[in-house]
Structure 1
Amino acid sequence: MGLVTGITSAAVGIVSPFLAHTVSGTGSLLNSTILAPYSRTQENDADAIGQLLAIKSGWTPEGITTFLNTLDRETERKGQEGDQFSFFATHPSTPKRVKATEVRAGELNAEKKFQQKRYLIAKNHKAFLNKFNGLIVGSDARQGVIVEQNFLHPTMNIGLTFPGDWKISNQPQYVSAVNKQKDGLLILELQGEGNDPVKAAHDFLNKAKIANQSVSKLSIGGFSASQVTINKSRQEAIITWVAFQKQMFRLTSINKNLAATNRRDIKKSIATFHQLRSKEKMKIKQQRLRIISARSGESISALLKRVGSEWDKESCAIANNLQADVSLKKGQLIKVVISEPFKYGSTEITR
């Protein structure tokens, strides 16, 4: 995220070394480094070990070949050759690598010591696909969703509106937003249990070794809150604590351009912290994998439109190992992704 925000923890450290640690966390937010790509030798070794483990467990070793071909096809479609976040940016795929998995699978299948009865997890293909029906695809809505400029968290029951043109990133430990000029940052995170925001502020100042700093007591969204503003070296940090349902939430902002409108946007955004409203809860959707039975002669595009899937036909074709212009058979089972209303109170485990 350091490359995205343009705000380094070194700059934050001018205000306070402790604040720099607070904002950057373990380095995942502002000081993250891009993992170096794996070598082809490492990938080949990993493939070999994976295929060996698969056949020893009674599974087919050919699965990795199909997997790599599918990933390669999806990556090529999206033109992600220069995308540092694509799978193949750190996991090189070449025709030789794919061919090696095919050859290795044949060798393993030929070895007598591995010729055992395969474990059957389903009696037929339909039963197998049904095991994946309802699988969460993409981000888990229970970890919060972004709807326009609104961050909505259904399990914590909170909402926050970020400035209109700021780029939002939702991570497991926090949600953050940065402005276009990359000189303004706002982070929302759960600090832990607590119901005294003033005490939380003083505890923070003591740990940060920041003396002679006043703490303002205020109300945000009808909830008790406190706020500290720290100015140093032409930078400003506004740290806010909000007590909500016995939990302490912290909003940390960094403003590197005091002459800009950042302060206004930041304070306006902080003031939007609130308990989720009924209309907002209805906007929260969860993408799930569904197994759909095709109609005779139906195209992939027609099927997607019929079931209300947001997938494009290319994505659906790749996921089902089909060509995009294929004419489907009656009863042919097709995997699709559908956005469905979020189920409150769900205790399911993401697979």
Structure 2
Amino acid sequence: MEEGQALLPNPCQPQAVLVAVLGGELLALVLTLASAPLDGRFWSELSQLSLFVQWIVLGTVAVLCLLHRLIVRLSLMAQIVVVFIVGMGMSLLMSQLALWLMLHQGLDRVVRVTPESLLVKTGGITFILLTVLLRYFWVQQQWRASLQARASAQVQALQARIRPHFLFNSMNTIASLIGIDPQRAERAVEDLSSLFRAALASEERRPLAEELELARRYLEIEQLRLGERLRVSWVIDPELDQRRQVPALCLQPLVENAVYHGIEPLPEGGEVRIEVRGEGGRLCVEVENPQPEAGGGEGRRGNHMAQANIRERLRLLYGERSCLEVRTGQGRYRVRFCLPREDAE
């Protein structure tokens, strides 16, 4: 099962632990306000209840962290059952421990509660809270699933979009090479087949290395057609882990736009610059091309569907943790997008 199908956030992350602790403290405060008079005993009862609640909260988080790799492989219903059992079990275990301390350490004279009422109240409150929380996380998971479905539809729309002019020009180029340079024609056919294979693939993500190779193959085909008019500059961070997963078809369509809107309209051609680097754990990619006088990336009317498509897919997959921005100036048109750290996805 993919991590995106996990019901709960990763309980091993510090943010999740902090949220759980703050939630437990808020619960203790609410329960104390509802039951204790606002006199000298209020703070005493709040501290005792806070300690008891944090035992349950931290114990539950610790067990869920230990079982996290196993839990995320289960079906959603099985995850709900496991989380419910762990939460209720930890609640009853800590109640028994509290009763033991009260009986054997003389705390029963300080804490005025009977064993039966402690077990019933703790079990009842835990049951209600788990039901509400699991319902909330279930709704959240269904919402994430709908976003992933929309992102998948965006990928399919992008895969279905292959500019006819590119296909026809590529076939004409290959046909012209067959008689004079069969080896280059064969390489062009292989590059073209790789592009179509990527367009027909159903995967939503793929390694960065494959995305870079796909862009290179596309540029090699265009290089055959445009010759010296197309110059390409690659700047790739050597320390970047190219095995990391990125959204499928997040680079090649931008490179295609750079050639179509920035190079083809210019008789003298120009340079497409592609920079891939890490920034504080994030992956940032920038595609830069000449900006014709008619409006850069908009020098030819239409087809910014790829750019809008990628922006929307990044938003669906990563939310506010990703970005795609366009900058123009000094005769250049730049498209830049950044993906969040992999461990935060």
More helix by share: 2
TM-score of the superposed pair, with normalisation by structure 1: 0.24
More strand by share: 1
TM-score of the superposed pair, with normalisation by structure 2: 0.24
Pick the structure with greater CA Rg.
2
